[in-house]
Amino acid sequence: MEVEDGNVTGTYKCVPSESLSKIIPLFYSKRVAEKFLSYMIDKNAVVRGINQKQLKALVMMIEGMKHDVGFALIPFDLESPDKWMSISIGLEQLKKDYLIE
């Protein structure tokens, strides 16, 4: 999430992408997220976990937007810890795999 003057703004940071769509990164652990954050050029961000209620709110917000927003699962490469993989996941797949009804 974005940080301004030491305070979290509530704005999700997107990963750099050559595509026009906004890509929100998802990580499987806080440690992996913090490692990824340490490699980012933009230092105005912090790692925040989200619970089911927050994930549902994020999904609802994205469904109401006119922008093309996607997600990327971002594990790091075990063979080379400074390299990252990105697995694209759409909103419907995110809802199916991660939201508990």
- Tens of pLDDT along the chain (101 residues) come to 778 888 888 777 777 666 667 788 888 888 888 888 887 777 788 888 888 998 899 899 888 877 778 888 888 766 776 677 788 888 899 899 888 87
Q: Angle at Cα 100 formed by Cα 98 and Cα 101, nearest 5°? A: 135
The residue range of the domain holding 80 is 3-7+15-98
Looking at the whole model, is its pTM more than 0.75? Answer: no
- Residue keyed to tokens 């609802």: 60
- Give the DSSP per-residue string, the chain: -BEETTEE-SPPPPPP-SSSSEEEEE-SSHHHHHHHHHH-S---B------HHHHHHHHHHHHT-SS-EEEEE-PBPTTSTT-B--EEE-HHHHHHHH---
What's the number of domains the chain is made of?
1
